[in-house]
Chain A
């Protein structure tokens, strides 16, 4: 395996959780709800996913536990912002703090445990191709699932009537309500979907990326996923590019540190986050108001009766 191939492979591994979490948040935001709790939901997914995999000795069971943890955390968020029409920004921040804390509690007994690597695709002939073989035909199931998810979300949002319903609710909640569209039900489902994706992304981190659990292991990836949605102008295709761009930044800073190029390690570790801020600044300068942001994003909805 060449060094280039090794780097490319780690880029894919680093990008996959970002892509999955960003797609979930993208759907949530398209319905008009801003959930800043992605980091907390990911942490819950990572802790519960890892705990489930150890307890049932099954990666699949772990993944399901991770997804369920994400859904449960997002259900709490949905109750607060839909049921009680609370401020979404404050509720999302609280969810992040809660998720990080609670995941530490759940994961504490599993510190020090390790999981074996998950199975990778192996097609004789194709997987053995030089350079591209492992990259395209030797990934784990999560990677292929994340790509299908990206296509599926794009198809759902822009090709189906249900997707139109979701976009309409996010674009103008008052209009949607006056047409009799079920604003709150659509948003509930979108929030739960976002939670499931964040939980899956978290489970990927603890079961595939590191294969152990440690407190705070999400280390800001949830925030990058939130930023990616803006970066992607709420489009799944752009979310794919963004996720791989930031995945690459994460990996390259590690290699840059290893190569000892004379820049302090702290500055290099900050690279992905600096890249996020720079990307957001450049985008908001370039496109001004017409960013494609859902019109009702972040606004609580209370129907009058």
Chain B
């Protein structure tokens, strides 16, 4: 014990492993990083917190040599260094696990790992080392499989192994748990703690404050490109941290559970669909009913049929029998998206850029995407430009969409603001049925709270709201009942109050699937 203390003291006297001083990065008129100071010691798990657009990604890219700072100094073990590119960063001992995985879908796991290794190493050597590291840290992977066949958790393991193969002294993880089940996340934490105990420093970026409080011993909080606080997250409540991130106190979503027992508005009966794409998921015998006034949540790990279910509900894919999907008692399985919208349904897809909005179109033009067929914006084949602009303005004001210029192109908005716009466009139609896939994916806490509240409010006005989400916290916060989709099968929805996170997590991994079907009979 004393030895450990002595080691810790010795570490504290050393200069930090990495110290960033006065880092500033300017893009045109935007100051993404404004004199940021950040120091991380060996063996420390340090959190980097902030809303979307606070400057975390920019700072991390600078740290990994992908961007050059406009101003400022980086010291590695006290020595000033220049990070001219990822190779330079890796040579120092900085490793990176990317949020959106920097993997190559059509290459095998071994090839993916080799792509980041020095060119002298043969593929066989890389594979041998990968096996060694995979065994040492308990990260099982099949090296010969192509990446597109793997789950998100497995993909992340490849990223981590690839990172560990370079003997890093500092590992940067960007939102590592956003795609994992609670069980997978728990395994990740064990790996990270083991790494930190061996002297590796970890910079941990996350939105999930409970995780940060469990894992990290210090945290730097960014807001609008500046450091607003450096704290010990274990000593402060999640609520206070969130307040620091947003700048104002956060409001809880007011759920008012069990408010009304309305009539069934969205009914799905025995929906089975083969996948449309080569790597898709088959939907098997899905039954569900969403009543007016309630929010039904569907949890699940990405790639278990959420996209296919959304497509079948929205009419992007026809559902076979007309009776397979009913909106307000009318069979609509054979109707397309526009016909379903005319019956009062609205849909918010998962991808906001490219599916929910056209990136290079202006916001006013984007209002037409889902509302061209439901009146008010088009007359005799001509677009009513004034009406689209007025509608865009109404969405922008109602949902607090922040933007530059009067009517910017969709791609120039930050993720959270564009999501507010896309969700707002559908909610302002006051739909009887709303289906939304991943409503707050990659959206900052402030925008997420606003979107959730808007969805709950819509339900309380008598609409049926179906939320498909990978974020369990979100579902527990807003859903009246929760079902889990796994391998294309949907579990029986249960009232949120009767469920625990662990129970839902087990269903998400499929571990309790057989048990679930027994209950359903």
Q: What is A's interface to B at a CB cutoff of 8 Å?
A: 161-162, 164-165, 167-168, 171-172, 174-181, 288-290, 292, 294-295, 304-305
Contact = CB atoms under 8 A, between A and B. Distances in A.
B137 interface: no
A171 B119 contact: no
A305 B67 CA distance: 5
A155 B321 CA distance: 51
Contacts of B66: 177-178
A9 to B, nearest CB: 39
Interface stretch (B82-90, B426-434, B450-458): B82-90
B104 A172 contact: yes
Interface of B: 64-68, 85-87, 89-90, 96, 98, 101-107, 111, 114-116, 119, 121-123, 277-279
Contact of A304 (B67, B277, B279): B67
A288 B107 CA distance: 19
A288 B103 contact: no
Nearest to A287: B278
B31 to A, nearest CB: 16
Given A171-B105, A175-B102, A161 B119 contact: yes
Nearest to A181: B115
B278 A164 contact: no
B104 A178 contact: no
A165 B106 contact: no
A172 B67 contact: no
B143 to A, nearest CB: 14
A290 B278 contact: yes
A295 B86 contact: no
21 contacts: A161-B122, A162-B119, A164-B107, A164-B111, A164-B114, A164-B115, A168-B104, A168-B115, A171-B105, A171-B106, A176-B102, A176-B104, A178-B96, A179-B116, A180-B65, A180-B86, A180-B116, A290-B279, A292-B106, A294-B106, A305-B68
A295 to B, nearest CB: 6
A242 to B, nearest CB: 20
Contact of B86 (A167, A179, A292, A304): A179
Contacts of A172: 102-105
Contacts of A162: 119
Nearest to B126: A161
Contacts of A294: 106
Contacts of A305: 67-68
Nearest to B115: A168
- Most chain A C-beta atoms within 10 Å of own C-beta, residue among B68, B86, B89: B86
Given A180-B85, A289-B278, A304-B67, A164 B106 contact: no
- Most chain A C-beta atoms within 10 Å of own C-beta, residue among B87, B114, B115: B115
A57 B90 CA distance: 54
A165 B67 contact: no
Nearest to A179: B116
A197 B279 CA distance: 35
A178 B172 CA distance: 13
Given A161-B114, A180-B116, A295-B105, 16 more contacts: A161-B119, A161-B122, A161-B123, A168-B104, A168-B107, A171-B106, A175-B101, A175-B104, A178-B66, A178-B96, A179-B102, A180-B86, A180-B87, A181-B115, A289-B278, A290-B279
